[in-house]
Amino acid sequence: MKNKRLNLGTGAIGPLLLKMSLPAITANVVVAFYNLLDVFWLSRIGPKAVAALTVCFPIQILLAAIGIGTGVGAASFGARMFGAGQTDRAEKVAGQAVFLSAVLGIVVLVSCEIFTEPILRLFGATDDILPLSKMYLTTYIVCAPFMFFTMMGNNILRAEGNPNPAMFVIFVLACTGAVLDPILIFGLGPFPEMGIKGAGYAAVCAYFLSALLCFIFFMSDRSGYQMSRRNLVPDLSLILSVYRVGFPAFIMNLSVSVVITVYNHVLGGFGAQAVATFGIIFRLNGIIIFLLFGIGHGVLPMVGFNYGAGLYERLRQTVRTAVRWSVAIAGMSILLALLFAEHIVAVFTSDHSLLTIAMPAMRIYVTALIFLGPAIIAINMFNGLGMGFTATSLLFFRDLFVLIPFLIFVAPRIGLNAVWCAHPLSNLFLIVISWLWTRMLFKKLG
């Protein structure tokens, strides 16, 4: 451990940043490709199936927000207890994660099964999209308890210094879903054709297996946690401690769900094909954004270490290196999108009217990456410095004061292309605010 800590303060920044970022990049990109494969296979059914999946996407992100927020809070508590030598308290928080995943999962499952149509309407389903959306959601939502436990368990495993099992769980999740998607959607081998329900069943199987793996790791000798029945008894004070820490992570993910919901409602006025277009370009962009967040995850511990060690110039160099990498990746991605938009979109649809909408949409929407990359680095820098409120505020201000008002009040009056412009314009605002905040911080550091 000592050598590893010294390397954070003395090793060459570029190779060290790559080493710190690579695990997160790998896991993030694998998950992004799985999300993209969902769209790829459902596009074979038709644009309405993709639109139905897009309407359900903010619901999926809302579930992820609950799981991640709880997981981050539990992981923080567990790490502090391990550090303090209070293993029994760390084990207690793991038991609370099992309890919370079961209770929250059942509440969400029952609510979505009873109020399916009102929930889908709330998240942007129109009359022509609603039937397929109901078929997908009522199937997919069964995975809620397993999803919550996977996300909570994954964070808790990392907290005890067990990143490899945590990453393995994510790989199994993504690979299981990717393999089962075409089998269950189209009915390969002994399985009947299930259509859009097949994608939901694939997710249920994938999350069940990943949750089972998390539980097996917890019960094994490799884990510092030892499950017992007494730790499953709810502890209100401990649960409140978990959510005090995890609330910012919940809000950050919740804001994504709100933004996608607004997009769904605005685009619904332009028809199912516009909603399907957003589903395609959002998930294509997701690969690059997840990659950029992977670099950001590598920046976070390096910034925190160098700040704590008083190595402020090294901190600046780390941030500058990461920003250069993010700009290079974003620039190459934009160039590819501008040159090959037609070929990329054609992978997901042969529908002429959808292609007509999607090609200009992709070329416009992807330009946001050049602003978003450096902003992601800045957000992770602030998190690494313990300035979580600042990091959350940056995204909150972008969404509340620029993106959502533009989508609701401006874009519908101008036309469909203005909807795609909302993302680049709001991220231009984000990078300006991030740069000003970062500049003030660097001046304080001297």
Q: Are residues 119 and 199 in the same domain?
A: yes
Asked if the structure places residue 382 within a domain, the reply is yes
Domain termination residue (choose one: 197, 218, 250): 250
The per-residue pLDDT for 51 is 96
Q: Using pLDDT thresholds of 50, 70 and 90, give the confidence band for residue 110.
A: very high
Asked if pLDDT for residue 212 goes beyond 60, the answer is yes
For the stretch 86-96, pLDDT in tens is: 778 878 888 88
**pLDDT by residue (tens digit) across 233-263?**
888 988 988 888 788 778 878 889 999 999 9
Position 217 scores a pLDDT of 86
Question: Residue 406 — very low, low, confident or very high, per pLDDT cuts 50/70/90?
Answer: very high
Instruction: Among 220, 250, 280, give the residue marking a domain's end.
Output: 250
Count structural domains, the chain. 2
Using a pLDDT cut of 90, give the percent of the chain over it.
60
The answer to whether residues 165 and 279 belong to one domain is: no
Q: What is the DSSP letter of 227?
A: -
d(CA 228, CA 263): 45
Helix (H) or strand (E) holding 47: helix 47-83
CA-nearest of 374, 384, 229 to 305 is 384
Amino acid 6: pLDDT: 38
The four Cα atoms 72, 77, 83, 86 give a dihedral, to 10 degrees, of -150
117 & 145 share domain = yes
Cα→Cα distances 399→24, 66, 363, 407, 435, Å: 25, 20, 22, 10, 17
Sign, Cα dihedral of 64, 181, 113, 131: positive
**Residue labelled with tokens 């499952």:** 109
Q: Give the pLDDT of residue 8.
A: 65
Residues 390 and 337 in one domain: yes
Identify whether residues 144 and 7 lie together within a single domain. no
Determine how many CB atoms are found less than 10 A away from the CB of residue 154: 27
Side-chain half-sphere exposure of 211, counting CA atoms within 13 A: 20
Same domain, 62 and 16: no
pLDDT digits (tens, 9 = 90+) for 429-444: 999 999 999 999 999 8
Long-range contacts of 379-382 (CB under 8 A, 24+ apart): 379/296, 379/434, 380/293, 380/296, 380/297, 380/299, 380/300, 380/303, 381/299, 381/300, 381/303, 381/319, 381/438, 382/437
Average pLDDT over residues 368-386: 91
Q: Where is average pLDDT lowest: 140-149, 349-358, 400-409? A: 349-358
- Mean of pLDDT values over 389-405: 90
Q: What is the pLDDT of residue 251?
A: 83
Same domain, 200 and 334: no
**Do 246 and 278 belong together in one domain?**
no
Residue 216 pLDDT > 60? yes
Domain with 218 in it: 44-250
Give every CB contact of residue 176 below 8 A, 6+ residues apart in sequence. 202, 205, 206, 209, 210
pLDDT of residue 5: 40
> What is the DSSP track for 329-391?
HHHHHHHHHHHHHHHHHHTT---HHHHHHHHHHHHHHGGGHHHHHHHHHHHHHHHHTT-HHHH
Residue 224 is predicted with a pLDDT of 67
Q: How confident is the model at residue 7 (pLDDT cuts 50, 70, 90)?
A: low
Contact 156, 94 (CB under 8 A): yes
pLDDT level of residue 80 (50, 70, 90 thresholds): confident
What are 253's two structure tokens? Answer: 């993910």
pLDDT at 1: 38
Mean pLDDT over 336-342 rounds to: 95
* Per-residue confidence (pLDDT) for residue 294, from 0 to 100: 87
Q: Is residue 263 part of a domain?
A: no
* Rounded distance between C-alpha atoms, residue 355 and residue 428, angstroms: 27
Residue 159: pLDDT over 50? yes
Dist CA 281 CA 217 (whole Å): 36
